[in-house]
Chains A and B, each alone.
Chain A
Amino acid sequence: MKRLLKYMKGYTLQAILAPLFKMLEATFELLVPIVVAKMIDVGIQGADRDYLVKMSLLLALLGAVGFGFSVTAQYFSARAAVGFAAKLRHQLFKKIHCLSFSDIDGVGTATLVTRITADVNTVQNGVNLALRLFLRSPFIVFGAAVMAFTVDSRSTSVFLLTILVLAIIVYAIMFISIPVYKKVQAGLDRLTAVTRESLGGARVVRAFGREAEAKEKFDSTNGMLNRFQRLAGTVSALTNPLTFVVLNGAIVWLIYSGAVRVEAGLLSVGAVVALYNYMSQILVELVKLANLIVTLTKGVASGGRIADILDHEDEKTGSDTSDAEVAVEFDNVSLSYKGTDEKSISNITFRLPLGGTLGIIGGTGSGKTTLVNLVGNYYPAREGEVRVLGLNVASWDSEMLRDKVAYVPQKAVLFCGTIRENLKWGSESATDEELCEALKTAMAYDFVMAKEGGLDAYVNEGGKNFSGGQRQRLTIARALVKKAPVLILDDSASALDMATESSLRANLKALSWSPAVITVSQRTSSVMHCDKIIVLEEGAAVGIGTHRELMECCEVYKEIYRSQFGEEDVK
């Protein structure tokens, strides 16, 4: 929680004023039993009606002033908590845009979404309640003890003992129930995962007729959650009855010992009533405090999780830019992912000039995507140097670097919004003419124009209202809008038929800014026209050269070719 305090800045005043006003309110509340004691001892004993009326008005006044303070406090506290939460969300979202991809992979996107939504919410509730009650409750509890001391110093020990016992009870229950609450949370997480599966895997579940099993899995997870919830509830349900017993027991003792001392002439009846009232105030306050503690522990836990995210190091970035002639250069580059020593890419060296074309081919899992991810510095190389436009990618300003490298991933991702909005990701300033140009190059113009609204046609979440091939062509168009000097197509034409793909290839060749194009594919037909082809197997280059050269001397390449074109074509 401490780590998050700095985001309270800007709300410091509110965060101080809220509990302060709460304390003022509490002070006025603490005065009430004294006034009542006076009414009994002075007003009633002396049968002074004017005094009684005056004191009653004072009581009403105390209430009114307290109300004013309280409303002010509630406002400040809401302001601080809500503002703090908004700031946290902002910081988190910003942070997510700066995390390195190994960290994003490690934390998981689903978790990041939870942090920015549910966790921030829990923190907000925690802060709000803390500001309102966390100072107020102890203040009332100890204030009541202090006031009791002023009324009757000998009863202080009873108050202190009561408070101590109560503290132990509350602490013990927390100690037992927090692990159970964690289990509840884990149960919820599991249920979430199962629900996701039922939705995301709907086609598979239904194709295999496994609806009943899916439902059974859901039910058993659901049932488990229920058992944990009830267990947690049973434990925390102890708080109220236990505090009730302790406090009322203390009241019994106060009245009894008070009676003894009144008899001995050491105490007034009004004082006994006042002591009794103070103990009752503690009771009311403690019930609130107990509820607060659950919310607060939840808030602290969420806060810790948020701070963990914010504490991650940012993606490393340099600050230089460059415009050299050599588009991409790999110098003996190796890479292994976090947590393994196994090299995903080993000792790759090549050079790709502006306007040149490079093909990367290889089997499933041979490291093709990993290799091109190095170009945009999405993962840093472990050995060797990757240079883009002559400058080591580690020294590049990340944003500038990615602006120079247009990357079209295997999985075609589109965003909610219109086609125009999606395309404009490439360049905010692009004109409709430029967008259409890109669409034409990407062979997407015709189907976009056939849609109602053309460029203004709506793209649903994940682009679900487009076919796989259409999505791919739209993502290619989006990348073209950038007019970047390096264009990487990572198997991004896999859902296109051959005719469309070959037209696309021709269009790319004719681009006015002649970018260096890296084409990743499993099909020889997609890369055979490239100036240079790298054949990858298990992360290593087993062949580099032109189609003709590779057909001469690279066994793997020949085999791939044969598997696609048949025996006779090899000759």
Chain B
Amino acid sequence: MKGTLKRILRYIGKYKILLLLSILLAGVTVALSLYLPTAFGGAIDAIVGEGKVDHEKLLGSLIPAGVAIILCAVLQWVMNVVNNALTFGVARDIRRDAGAKLAKLPLSYIDSHPEGETVSRIISDVDQFTDGLLMGFTQFFTGVVTVIGTIGFMVAIDWRIAIAVIVLTPMSLFIAKFVASNTFKMFSLQTKTRGEQTAFAKEMIENQKVVRQFGRKDENMERFDEINERLEKYTLKAVFFSSLVNPSTRFVNNIIYAAVALSGSLVIVGGGALSVGGLSCLLAYATQYSKPFNEISGVITELQSSMACAERVFELLDAPEEVADGDDVPGKTEGNIVFRNVSFSYDKKTPLIEHLNLEIKAGQRVAIVGPTGCGKTTLINLLMRFYDVDEGEILLDGVNIKDIPRKELRSSFGMVLQDTYLFNTTVSENIAYGKKDASMDDIIRAAKDARVYGFVKRLPKEFDTVIGEGNSQLSQGQKQLLAISRIMTGIPPMLILDEATSSIDTRTEMIIQEAFARLTEGRTSFIVAHRLSTVKNADVILYMENGNVLESGTHEELLALGKGYARLYESQFN
């Protein structure tokens, strides 16, 4: 909690001037608004009774009051604007850091954390945190200054009564503390349960078709209701406890009010140096006096829940990043790749790839085949450094790929994956993704090469049609073709085609294969496919099983060997 606070302060520190201004304005506006009851008290004292009104004194109090009112209002507005700039600025900065963090998170983090959870850290948690912070600034400072100022003015009017008020104050603080500690506990339980419910709802909503298919409505409702009930319980407590703050402080305030009324009037009756105007002024202060306590304790609860949110954001910011980049920028990429004694597994408990050795010469077309789950995609993950090897090394033109900046390494590969991901933007921007500043001609040429030109022309706005993940107007195959067109705009020295055509019908695929054949000419390329017809022409075929390369050679050689590959090939014709 302390660390969180420190980090929040560091973010705020950037806005020192705004912060100072905010504090200064809080002081001035509070002083002005506190001056008002005194002025009004003075005015009331000018009214003694029938026929006894001191007009000079009356106006002498009311005119300065009017000026103070207007000045105070203007400054209040400026202060609010400053506070907005400050808190929204902090939110923007935290989000900016989180946004930058996204690019540095290792794929292992992204693969193992639900997307919705990370999104909610960046969106709703920062939002709630900002709300709390804004409340803190608008109310905390003014609250504290008001309390101190009020005490000052009260002492000036009658110190005995002021002391009575001060003595009763801790009551309010005590209540606030009790409420806050209970609320915080409930708030964190509530947040946790809400997260659980969101995750469940999201999963079931996104896969409604499967849910219906299996008639899981009742089971789902049961599970949902179970979480819902827990959430209701915690929320009720959290809401109720936090809503106790206002009545409690109001209660304390009413007691103080009564005490001021009593002691004040007794002082007047006893012939003390207090006037009726002075008493009404004291009463006005007494009303104002507890309001900040209300607010301060409200702010404390709010800050506590916002602190919990900040903590969740910082957790994301603290997640381990991809290990530091190398800085060995290679010259022209030839494309010689060597795997030397490489071992890797995802969960470190189940070994996958163990002591793998491979040598691939520049310009070779390498096909990787094998039963599902044998580690084909894992090889690609390692090559692209989406994951780093546990042991051994992978060399590109003699340089360990760990020493090459990731960006350089990755840009030397053109990649089409089975899981196509299209961005939520126009078709042309999606195609141009492969090459910065691609011209419209480049885009159209790429579209033609990847055989998407025809269906893109049939889309409502052709190349300007907005597509994206949530968009169901494209079939899986069409998405895959678009993903292929991406690498057609700017062709890198090496290629990775991981089941790149698995969702495309074979007639279209044949045409694409021709384009691929042109592409892969003279480029080191890795082709993962289960359709063996697409890998026949590779220079080297690697047959994998359980993370190991068992056979390697040309199609004919492997067939002649009569082992795994041959069996796989034969099975096509059974």
Contacts and interface: CB of A to CB of B under 8 A. Distances in A.
Interface string B44-75: 10111111110100100010011001101110
- Best-surrounded residue of B280, B433, B573 (most CB of chain A within 10 A): B280
Given A43-B265, A214-B103, A244 B69 contact: yes
A179 interface: no
The 6 closest A-B pairs by CB, nearest first: A469-B372, A63-B254, A364-B477, A237-B80, A233-B84, A363-B505
B217 to A, nearest CB: 4
B250 A241 contact: no
Interface string A256-267: 101110111100
A368 B544 CA distance: 33
Contacts of A39: 261, 265
Contact of A244 (B46, B58, B72, B111): B72
B475 A461 contact: no
A36 B268 CA distance: 14
A276 B80 contact: no
B81 A416 contact: no
Contact of A206 (B119, B123, B247, B384): B384
Contacts of B243: 74, 77-78, 128, 132
A199 B316 CA distance: 13
B347 interface: yes
A469 to B, nearest CB: 2
B236 A499 contact: no
A201 interface: yes
Given A86-B231, A192-B119, A263-B51, A205 B103 contact: yes
A200 B393 CA distance: 28
B515 to A, nearest CB: 15
Nearest to B505: A363
Interface string A415-452: 11000000001101000000000000000000100011
Nearest to B369: A497
Contacts of A494: 502-503
A241 B251 CA distance: 27
A210 B415 CA distance: 13
B6 interface: no
A55 B279 CA distance: 15
13 contacts: A49-B266, A59-B258, A82-B236, A86-B228, A116-B205, A202-B102, A204-B421, A229-B91, A240-B77, A258-B47, A409-B209, A410-B476, A497-B530
A409 B472 CA distance: 15
B126 to A, nearest CB: 10
Contact of B206 (A79, A109, A191, A214): A109
Interface string B548-574: 000000000000000000011101111
A564 B529 CA distance: 13
Nearest to B61: A255
A251 B421 contact: no
Contacts of B212: 97, 376, 378, 398, 402
A209 to B, nearest CB: 4
Contacts of A396: none
Interface stretch (B299-307, B327-335, B506-514): B506-514
Contact of B571 (A67, A409, A499, A522): A499
B261 A90 contact: no
Contacts of A229: 84, 88, 91
Contacts of A252: 62, 65-66, 69
B506 A365 contact: no
A63 B371 contact: no
Nearest to A222: B95
A56 B261 contact: yes
Contacts of A496: 372, 530
Contact of B62 (A79, A255, A284): A255
B208 A97 contact: yes
Interface stretch (A100-108, A327-335, A350-358): A100-108
Contacts of B236: 78-79, 82-83
Given A49-B266, A97-B212, A117-B201, A233 B240 contact: no
A265 B266 CA distance: 26
Interface string A16-54: 000000000100000010001001100110011100110
B349 interface: yes
A171 interface: no
Binding site of A, secondary structure by majority: helix, strand, loop or mixed?
A: helix
A38 B51 CA distance: 21
A118 interface: yes
Interface string A470-501: 10010000110010000000010011111111
Nearest to B111: A464
Interface stretch (B353-361, B403-411, B517-525): B403-411
B572 A498 contact: yes
Contacts of B228: 86, 89-90
A108 B508 contact: no
Interface string A487-524: 00001001111111110000000000000000000110
A293 interface: no
Contacts of A398: 212
Given A90-B228, A447-B373, A469-B372, A399 B486 contact: no
Interface stretch (B152-160, B218-226, B441-449): B218-226
B376 to A, nearest CB: 9
A365 B478 contact: yes
Interface string A551-571: 000000001100111100000
Contact of B47 (A48, A200, A272, A565): A272
A3 interface: no
B533 A425 contact: no
Interface stretch (B7-15, B283-291, B394-402): B283-291
Contacts of A263: 47, 50-53
A496 B217 CA distance: 31
Contact of B247 (A70, A81, A117, A242): A70
A56 B258 contact: yes
Contact of B503 (A188, A364, A407): A364
B92 interface: yes
Nearest to A76: B240
B107 interface: yes
Given A75-B240, A78-B240, A105-B472, A242 B103 contact: no
B370 to A, nearest CB: 7
Contact of B198 (A75, A113, A258): A113
B232 A86 contact: yes
B200 to A, nearest CB: 8
A244 B349 CA distance: 67
Contacts of A237: 77, 80-81, 84
Contacts of A402: 212-215
A470 B36 CA distance: 76
B110 A202 contact: yes
- Best-surrounded residue of A55, A208, A218, A564 (most CB of chain B within 10 A): A208
A230 interface: yes
Contact of B506 (A93, A211, A523): A523
Contact of B208 (A66, A85, A96, A563): A96
Interface in A206-249: 206-211, 213-215, 218-219, 222-223, 225-226, 229-230, 233-234, 237-238, 240-242, 244-245, 248-249
A478 B207 CA distance: 15
Contacts of B209: 101, 378, 407, 409
Given A276-B284, A403-B215, A501-B571, 7 more contacts: A63-B254, A78-B243, A195-B99, A369-B475, A398-B212, A452-B349, A482-B214
Contact of A113 (B201, B221, B246, B283): B201
A466 B482 CA distance: 26
A501 B574 CA distance: 11
Interface string B123-134: 110010000000
